[in-house]
């Protein structure tokens, strides 16, 4: 009997999904804070735009790089939010989600046996996609110094080998909520240039940023620093900014040669994102700012609520996130975050993600997604705080 390929077997299953599957098998209500999404529906004007697009004939194949009108809208938005001029014809590839942008971007940069440096704790998909490309992920944990995560540039230097081809980081970070400073960006770019690496910035949470002078200002993109000739690619998604997780629309911005090849490879992966979903994404860009501003105000207040709820929990350190919608509290003495989350789920029906799912530096912490409504968040945080009160890591 033929076996499943070793290269496929080597790719580990997501431990976030593993926890979620236990939760989904339980009868009755579970407070679901384990996935990166809120329970709010996609805004009605976006759903209406999809219905209109279906009625208007957006039911056929599009270009592999996506509808030209959507790429123009993305370029226009990049100019407005980041003051970066992009060529919609050659530097933007629309994808069927952020994860597909990661997939095609990584696949286009790596040969089998190459190594990719990945700043962790990080959402596990980047690492898994490197493995699916028959390449090797090398995790570099971001140290928590005081109450801020940093980048260990000395460790990065030590990790470079002749096979290193790519450096992946996420800003705003899932799960840390950390946002790269200008100095971090300068140093990451200089490091990538010095070692001839592709630099992949996952910026899917760029709109969920709380530190700007006013709400709605995007976290600064690495593209403000890089030239269009740099070996840089940036992953984006409509999932988080517009409550469109189920729609599967994202995009990749990259140097022209990589963008062209990524669009060509799209043909063999998924061909393109669904035509009517692309059209709806165009409407999200055009009309989405007021709802986004409302969501951001709500998320910022949820963040502060959750931080306050954990403040008096014994042995818990929870750095204040600057972006995204996660807290990543460290629980002192915790050695098995999966067992912790499973017990929490079974005893209190609160589902959160185990830190071990996020690679090096993740064990000992848990991830709480605070995008849910208060009616879910408040009882869930009460139960978590009460559980932590009684939790003994040495038990």
Number of residues that bind ligand PLP (CB under 6 A): 13
Query: Which lies closer to ligand PLP via its Cβ, residue 32 or residue 388?
Result: 32
Q: Looking at 123, 191, 209, 370, which residue binds ligand PLP (CB under 6 A)? A: 123
Query: Which lies closer to ligand PLP via its Cβ, residue 96 or residue 345?
Result: 96
Residue 55 CB, shortest distance to ligand PLP, in Å, is 26
Contact window for ligand PLP (CB under 6 A) among 73-81, 91-99, 254-262, 377-385: 91-99
Query: Which lies closer to ligand PLP via its Cβ, residue 249 or residue 313?
Result: 249
CA dist 286 and 185 (Å) reads: 29
Q: Looking at 38, 64, 97, 275, which residue binds ligand PLP (CB under 6 A)? A: 97
Question: If binding is defined by CB under 6 A, does position 291 make contact with ligand PLP?
Answer: no
Question: If binding is defined by CB under 6 A, does position 121 make contact with ligand PLP?
Answer: no
Question: If binding is defined by CB under 6 A, does position 245 make contact with ligand PLP?
Answer: yes
What residue has token string 């971090």?
184
- Paired tokens of 213: 């002078």
Residue 116 CB, shortest distance to ligand PLP, in Å, is 15
Site for ligand PLP in 28-57 (CB under 6 A): 36
What residue has token string 């204040």?
320
On whether the CB atoms of residues 276 and 59 are closer than 8 A, the answer is yes
Reported as half-sphere exposure (CB side, CA atoms, 13 A), residue 278 has a value of: 27
**What does DSSP assign to residue 323?**
B
Site for ligand PLP in 162-191 (CB under 6 A): 170, 174
Q: Give the phi and the psi of residue 237 in degrees, each rounded to 5.
A: -150, 155
Question: If binding is defined by CB under 6 A, does position 237 make contact with ligand PLP?
Answer: yes
Q: Looking at 121, 137, 220, 250, which residue binds ligand PLP (CB under 6 A)? A: 250
Q: Counting beta carbons within 10 angstroms of the beta carbon of residue 332, is it exposed (0 to 12), middle (13 to 18) or buried (19 or more)?
A: exposed
Residue 293 CB, shortest distance to ligand PLP, in Å, is 21
Query: Which lies closer to ligand PLP via its Cβ, residue 100 or residue 391?
Result: 100
Q: Counting beta carbons within 10 angstroms of the beta carbon of residue 392, is it exposed (0 to 12), middle (13 to 18) or buried (19 or more)?
A: exposed
CA dist 290 and 46 (Å) reads: 13
Beta bridge partners of 164: 115
Question: If binding is defined by CB under 6 A, does position 202 make contact with ligand PLP?
Answer: yes
Question: If binding is defined by CB under 6 A, does position 337 make contact with ligand PLP?
Answer: no
- Paired tokens of 1: 């009997």
Omega before 161 cis (within 30°)? no
CA dist 76 and 85 (Å) reads: 8
Reported as half-sphere exposure (CB side, CA atoms, 13 A), residue 4 has a value of: 5
Beta bridge partners of 354: 366
Contact window for ligand PLP (CB under 6 A) among 2-10, 67-75, 97-105, 346-354: 97-105
- Paired tokens of 55: 């009625």
Residue 232 CB, shortest distance to ligand PLP, in Å, is 16
Question: If binding is defined by CB under 6 A, does position 98 make contact with ligand PLP?
Answer: yes
- Positions in the binding site for ligand PLP (CB under 6 A): 36, 97-99, 123, 170, 174, 202, 204, 237, 239, 245, 250
């Amino acid at each position: 009997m033929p076996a499943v390929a070793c290269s496929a077997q080597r790719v580990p299953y997501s431990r976030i999904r593993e926890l979620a599957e236990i939760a989904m098998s339980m009868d009755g209500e579970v407070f679901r804070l384990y996935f990166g999404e809120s329970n709010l529906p996609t805004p009605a004007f976006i759903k209406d735009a999809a219905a209109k697009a279906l009625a208007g004939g957006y039911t056929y194949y599009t270009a592999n790089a996506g509808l030209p009108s959507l790429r123009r809208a993305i370029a226009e938005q990049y100019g407005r939010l980041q003051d970066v001029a992009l060529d919609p014809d050659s530097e933007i590839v629309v994808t069927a989600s952020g994860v597909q942008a990661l997939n095609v971007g990584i696949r286009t940069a790596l040969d089998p046996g190459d190594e990719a440096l990945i700043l962790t704790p990080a959402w596990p998909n980047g690492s898994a996609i490197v493995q699916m490309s028959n390449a090797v992920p090398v995790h570099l944990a971001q140290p928590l110094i005081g109450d801020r995560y940093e980048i260990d540039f000395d460790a990065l230097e030590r990790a470079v080998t002749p096979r290193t081809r790519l450096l992946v980081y996420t800003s705003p970070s899932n799960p840390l909520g950390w946002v790269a400073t200008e100095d971090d960006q300068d140093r990451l770019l200089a490091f990538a240039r010095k070692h001839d690496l592709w630099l992949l910035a996952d910026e899917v949470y760029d709109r969920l940023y709380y530190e700007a002078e006013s709400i709605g200002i995007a976290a600064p993109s690495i593209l403000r620093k890089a030239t269009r000739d740099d070996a840089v690619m940036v992953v984006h998604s409509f999932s988080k900014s517009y409550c469109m997780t189920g729609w599967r629309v994202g995009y990749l911005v990259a140097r022209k040669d990589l963008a062209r090849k990524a669009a060509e490879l799209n043909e063999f992966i998924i061909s393109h994102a669904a035509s009517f979903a692309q059209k709806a994404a165009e409407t999200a860009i055009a009309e989405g700012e007021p709802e986004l501003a409302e969501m951001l105000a709500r998320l910022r207040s949820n963040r502060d609520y959750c931080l306050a709820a954990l403040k008096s929990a014994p042995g818990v350190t929870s750095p204040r996130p600057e972006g995204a919608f996660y807290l990543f509290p460290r629980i002192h003495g915790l050695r098995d975050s999966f067992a912790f989350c499973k017990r929490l789920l079974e005893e209190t029906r609160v589902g959160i993600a185990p830190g071990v799912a996020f690679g090096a530096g993740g064990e000992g912490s848990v991830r709480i997604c605070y995008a849910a409504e208060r009616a879910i968040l408040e009882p869930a945080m009460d139960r978590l705080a009460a559980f932590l009160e009684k939790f003994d890591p040495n038990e």
